[in-house]
Structure 1
């Protein structure tokens, strides 16, 4: 049976974790990127659909290409971060369901129903994006998830060979520089936005 995590782990994952705007001058290795994936892939998705597709922008060329498609403030963050991940979604994820969800013919639920496939891809790739953030934090890294970029331009620049894959959001990744963050914004108590029915 699972036990609650120690307060130190909860702090690292949630209470003390922050969204970073800048990073320390420390490299992030390919092994660390693979370790993030090897954790996040276990997060639940509908019918184990796993629609997220990630491009890890590590090279200067990739960062420059992505930064050129972002608003100026975000472009600066991309160029200075050790890594920026493009979290995208495969609208034809269902082609992999015979392998990923062999219990039933789940592929047939989506073939010919583009609206359902797109909604499912967006919801579950967004979930996987959250798992990405938590996996990075669990491994001692920090992230800076953001919008503020040209989705169509990113799709053309990074997914031209897979037109069924569309960008969702991007996130810088590294060892966060405490000097780059603002005072934490408010987090309301349970009663403000919740009700028990």
Structure 2
């Protein structure tokens, strides 16, 4: 199986690569179009700024390739957020526009932001991502922006307010948490994605 981790210059590439290796597969971190087009599975990781990741994808001419992707692709954290139409960051920035939602800054009036640490993920629709994972399992989060509940939400998490922690539409999947830092549940989720 050919597994690609998109080189967005902002992500936990090596811990993701190590987790995939633990499952028994090799992966390649790349921004080369021909390699990405030949992949069986694609990971879109992201940490930090939506502006930086979109700029990098534009510079690498990967926007249209991702938008038209027919292979299974998993957006992780910021990678999930940019599958939507825009982010509130920097007074609003257009993102990939694949799914009809946007990401907004979490409200820090009653809680610390960023949301960091372990939290429950509550599946509200069935998804192959959750095979052999118990309902209300814990995963590791680290983010300041969130995606509200929408048509593609398959799991939610509560941190002062309930937000989308997993989304899915056809071959596009997204998780707000970091499966590569989420112990056995994260390993199982990555394994499930590779089996789809």
Normalised to the residue count of structure 2, the TM-score between the two structures is 0.30
More helix by share: 1
Say which one has the larger Rg: 1
Give TM-score scaled by structure 1 length: 0.30
